Amino acid sequence: MSLRLFPNALTLFRMLAAGPIVYWLLTGDNAAALLLAVFAGISDLLDGYIARRFGWMTHFGGVLDPLTDKLLLVSTTLTLAWLGHLPWWLVLLVVLRDVVIVCGGLYYHNFITPIVNSHPTLLSKCNTLLQIVLIVAVMLGLVFPRTVGPWNQWLIYTVALTTVASGVQYVAIWSIKARRHHQHGT
């Protein structure tokens, strides 16, 4: 294997980690799930750093990395909700936001103009970070029950707020771009 593919290998590791994390949560092996989730998080930071540092970025990795992150977030969030550790209304908000963004992006790409490059907004990055912090906090609480505190509720509402805000922001940004495209005929 070429060293240039190492970041992609780390991304594939993360993708494959989703299954065992969900399985271990469902079977009550919360410590193993938490440990693998932490390793997956470290590998996410590492693959991005290595790819940028050495210029080993690939189109495959650029597509696979965010899909893998979404797979880990959604599968873990759904599992924690299924087990009663996260409210279903929050899961619905998170999934609905993603569906709106994907459908809007597909509509824009197919009916307005092809999307060449799209980068997440700062608010979206904050939302993702808060989702990760919430998941880790809930998993920590499963392994170390005394660590659960009122801040978990605060995190739930903060994630909800940033989820709605970032969804509205994406709709506004792409609506403005679509309007400008139609006004200028480009």
Average pLDDT, integer, range 82-90: 96
Average pLDDT, integer, range 107-118: 81
For residues 117 and 105, the model is more confident at 105
Whether 1 has a pLDDT exceeding 60, the answer reads no
Q: Which long-range contacts (CB under 8 A, 24 or more apart) does 132-135 make?
A: 132/41, 132/73, 134/86, 134/159, 135/37, 135/73, 135/76, 135/77, 135/80
Q: Residue 153: count other Cβ atoms within 10 Å of its Cβ.
A: 11
Task: Say how many CA atoms lie within 13 Å of 4 toward its Cβ.
Answer: 7
160: left (phi over 0), alpha (psi -120 to 50) or beta: alpha
Give the pLDDT of residue 29: 97
Tokens 């991005």, residue located: 48
pLDDT digits (tens, 9 = 90+) for 44-80: 888 888 888 888 888 778 788 888 988 999 999 999 9
Instruction: Report percent pLDDT > 90 for the chain.
Output: 53
Whether 99 has a pLDDT exceeding 80, the answer reads yes
Whether 186 has a pLDDT exceeding 60, the answer reads no
pLDDT digits (tens, 9 = 90+) for 155-169: 999 999 999 999 999
Average pLDDT over the chain reads 89
Average pLDDT, integer, range 14-25: 96
